[in-house]
Amino acid sequence: MQKVIILGGIGNGSVIAQAIVDANKRGDYSCEMVGYLNDREDKGFLIEDYPVLGQLSEARRYADAGYKFINTIYRIDGQKERLDLFSNLGIDDSNLAIFIHPSAYVASNVIIEPGVVIMPYVMISAGAKIGKASLIMVGASIGHNTELGEYNHIAAQAVVGAFIKTGIGVHIGLNATLRENLILGDYSTVGMGAVLTKNIGTGEIWAGNPAKFLRMAD
């Protein structure tokens, strides 16, 4: 069993914590939720029954003690800054937890890198690859032979088609739909409910149906 500390708090962090609790209730004990590290709440503050154990700077100490981490420090604007913050914590890949909720379908030949979270009712088809520390949220669908880069955030109910390649730190919003054979650059964003039919470049934010370029990320 992986004893898990979540980097973050209320939001993606607390949602993932409750998914771990639900998995335990279903008889899946691959992960055990321990608490959080963040720089927002005081040590001892409870987030839905689990304590803030300290600040992010204490991660290395907990890693040395054998704890595993899930990173939820994500932000659409300023994503590179947040990922640099995570990288500077000095957490080895061996200290990143993998959590796959038992209700998810993941084809047997999918490649899952360290730190990946796959939430309830997700579907990931054959030949896909999920990059390090990516979060695949509730009910999202990943098509066959799609390769997601590191630190991607795929929001709930998003549909990502086949043969898609995404860069580092990509965000795909709630209920967004991506047609097959697309390339998404590093730190790019597809907005909530968007229907994307074209490749998008590094740092670009696209939204709408059909999706169009909106602006560059900060």
Residue-wise pLDDT tens digits, 171-188: 999 999 999 999 999 999
* Domains 2-95 and 99-216 in one fold: no
**What are 199-208's pLDDT values in tens digits?**
999 999 999 9
pLDDT at 120 over 80: yes
pLDDT at 160 over 80: yes
Confidence of residue 80 (pLDDT cuts 50, 70, 90): confident
Average pLDDT over residues 8-36: 97
Q: Which CATH class is domain 2-95?
A: alpha beta
Percent of the chain clearing pLDDT 70 (strictly above): 99
Phi/psi-derived region of residue 151, left when phi > 0, alpha when psi is between -120 and 50, beta in every other case: left
**What are 28-67's pLDDT values in tens digits?**
999 999 999 999 999 999 999 999 999 999 999 999 999 9
Average pLDDT over residues 91-95: 97
Strand ranges of the sheet holding 31-37, from the earlier edge strand across to the other edge: 46-47, 50-54, 31-37, 2-7, 68-71
Q: Which CATH class is domain 99-216?
A: mainly beta
User: Any idea what the Cα angle at residue 180 is, between residues 177 and 186, rounded to 5°?
Assistant: 75
Which pLDDT value is given to residue 83? 85
Please check whether residue 156 is in contact with residue 139, taking contact to mean a CB–CB distance below 8 angstroms: yes
How many Cβ atoms are within 10 Å of 79's Cβ, its own excluded?
24
Average pLDDT over residues 204-216: 97
- Domain boundary assignment for the chain: 2-95, 99-216
Average pLDDT over residues 144-163: 98
Average pLDDT over residues 106-131: 98
Helix/strand/coil for 24: helix
Confidence of residue 82 (pLDDT cuts 50, 70, 90): confident
What does the mean pLDDT of the chain come to? 96
> Helices marked H in the chain — which ranges?
12-25, 59-64, 79-87
Average pLDDT over residues 149-178: 97
At 83, list the tokens: 């990922």
Confidence of residue 5 (pLDDT cuts 50, 70, 90): very high
